Structures are given as structure tokens and as C-alpha cells.
Homo-oligomer: A and B are copies of this chain.
């Protein structure tokens, strides 16, 4: 993810008209040596084995945090204290309590913050939001939403920071994406009822190790969800979904139509509008220059975007927010709200009851 950030910073200047062009200053990693090699590979001039060196570097204006979740709070708090703009990967932290501390610190310092819910950057997702808000599908009544991948489907995938309790399991790791998507499209979530399952209860201690250690987080969670708007539906987070590589998907139904999307076909949005004619049906809208900011990547239709392009859009937004020409979204506050929903689902799974947010 660090490499992905670096590449996005490198590419953004050729694609977007920005108030300034970012230049890579300093890269930190676990050791001096790892950091030195990373800096060389990614075009940074200086590096360090101590992340505080980045934050204390007066040439650094924007701190990008792609370390494991457990480090997010400490790094963000120091960066905020040093007056930096903070660009943090999701989830914001390991608990909502920690995320709240980070959010309050950022707001007290008036810091610019941005959290990497990159899937929201897709022009097709932006279009979905616009259509919903403008009433194209009427009043939203229900939905089904899902983030399913298969990267933990193999029981021989070993333990890592993802399977630590701090990692939070499938729900925190990718459930947070689909929760942020629902909030972005449909507004606040007020109540949840969730059930989780650890499909593979033992995993190798390390890759290729014969030792097996218990898994304490979920591989799959299904939840019922009610929204402030009155709509309701279901949500799934699943990192052991054998057949799926990136089924971040939703179908949202309203009184006049419906919208459906999957990241597995990220350049398409399916729209149904009840025209009352013999020609109603789902329309496959294909991304193009009429859907900003697609036009930054190509002036002509048919030149589809890829995943890395979403990260470039995110970095463009970050730079504009840093320059004050745009409010960054999703900021720490929004990421905190997502984290609260994750925790409510974890809590519901334990209590077997509905939990309010």
C-alpha cells in the first residue's frame, strides 16, 4: 500500500490540474535498511528507520500513514501535533475509542485529514450518489450490500496483522469499505444485528509453518442494517469468499428504480428506472468523460479506469484539501463513524441482539 501511495503521488501531476505538485521527501520503514531500499525504489531522497523523523522533517507537509492499524493513532497524533496534513489508510484505528481520540485531536488542531476509502473515488460510485440524491430512483426502501474477497479462503494462509484482534477480521478489514460505501450513498446507519463466523479456526503461525494457532477474528459476517432514512437491508463482509476477488457490491432499491454495482465491473453502473413503458430494464452505464473525474485520465470514452486510478483521484483530493481548495472527504470524523458501525456489529455478534450506533 505504501508503494501504491507513492505511485499515485508520482502520477497525479500529469493527470490533474493541481494547486501544487507533490514531491516525495522522506520515507520511513521498520528499519533504516528497509527504508533506504524503499526510498530508492520509490524515488524518495531521504529515508529513516524511525517514522518520527518523517514527522519532524520541516520539508514534509503531508504525512501518509500506511503502517499496520496498531500504529495509526500514535503516528497520526504526532503528525497532527506537528501541524501536518494526515493521509491515513483505513480502518482509521483499532478501536472506535482510539479513532475518536484521533478525530478530536485533528479537529482541535484544525488539521486536514483524509482516510483511504478509495472505492468511493470511482466515477460510477459518484454517479450513483448523485442519482440517489437527486431522486432518480425515488425514496430508497431497501438494499443488499457486500464486500467479498478470497484472499483468506485458503486455510493455509498464515496469521498476520490482519488476523490479530487488533486487525479486526474480515469485518474491520473490508467490511469497513462497504460500510463507508453505504454511508456515502444512503446516510447514517442507526442499528445493526450481526452474526460472524470463523470459517478456518486454525491457521499456520507463519507461512509454511506446521504450527497452528487459533483465529480469534471473523472470516465472514452477515448483518441486518437499518438506516436513519428508514431504509433497511443486509450487508456481508467475507474474506474467505472462494469465488470472489473484489465483490464490493450493492443493489439499492427505491420506489422509482434501483441501482446496482460491483467493483468486479468497476467501470459500469446498472440503473433501473421505472419508465412504465415496454422498454424498462437495467441500463448498463459505462464510465466516460461525462462522469468526472474520468476526463482527467482520458478525454474520450471507452478508456476504462483501473484500481490504481482510484488512488490517484484520492491523492488529487488530498492535495486540493491540503491547499484549502476543497474539503477532504472522508476525513477522520467520517472514518470514526464507520468504525463505530464495525464495533456495533462485533458487539451484536457477541450479545446476539440489535445494537444501536
Contacts and interface: CB of A to CB of B under 8 A. Distances in A.
B243 A257 contact: yes
A233 to B, nearest CB: 6
A232 B303 CA distance: 28
A238 B252 CA distance: 13
Contact of A141 (B197, B253, B266, B306): B197
A241 B264 contact: no
Copies per complex of this chain: 4
A301 B234 contact: no
Most buried by B among A232, A288, A291, A306: A306
A193 B43 contact: no
A286 B244 CA distance: 10
A4 interface: yes
Contacts of A71: none
Interface in A179-200: 193-195, 197, 199
Interface string A127-154: 1000100000110011010101111010
A3 B15 CA distance: 9
Contacts of A280: 283, 285
Interface string A259-300: 010011110000110100111111111101011000001101
Nearest to A131: B279
A13 interface: yes
Most buried by B among A141, A151, A226, A263: A141
Q: How large, as a class, is the contact surface on chain A?
A: 35 or more
Interface in A143-176: 144, 146, 148-151, 153, 155
Nearest to A252: B243
A195 B193 contact: yes
A11 interface: yes
Contact of A193 (B3, B11, B193, B236): B193
A129 to B, nearest CB: 13
A151 B303 CA distance: 12
Contacts of A151: 300-301
Contact of A234 (B153, B236, B246): B236
Q: Sorted from nearest, which 3 A-B pairs have the closest CB atoms?
A: A306-B306, A246-B302, A245-B302
Interface of A: 3-4, 6-7, 10-11, 13-15, 41-43, 127, 131, 137-138, 141-142, 144, 146, 148-151, 153, 155, 193-195, 197, 199, 219-220, 222-224, 226, 232-234, 236, 238, 240-246, 253-258, 260, 263-266, 271-272, 274, 277-286, 288, 290-291, 297-298, 300-309, 352-354
Given A10-B14, A153-B255, 4 more contacts: A142-B238, A144-B144, A234-B234, A283-B284
12 contacts: A7-B15, A10-B13, A242-B274, A265-B265, A271-B281, A278-B285, A278-B290, A280-B285, A305-B306, A306-B307, A308-B309, A352-B353
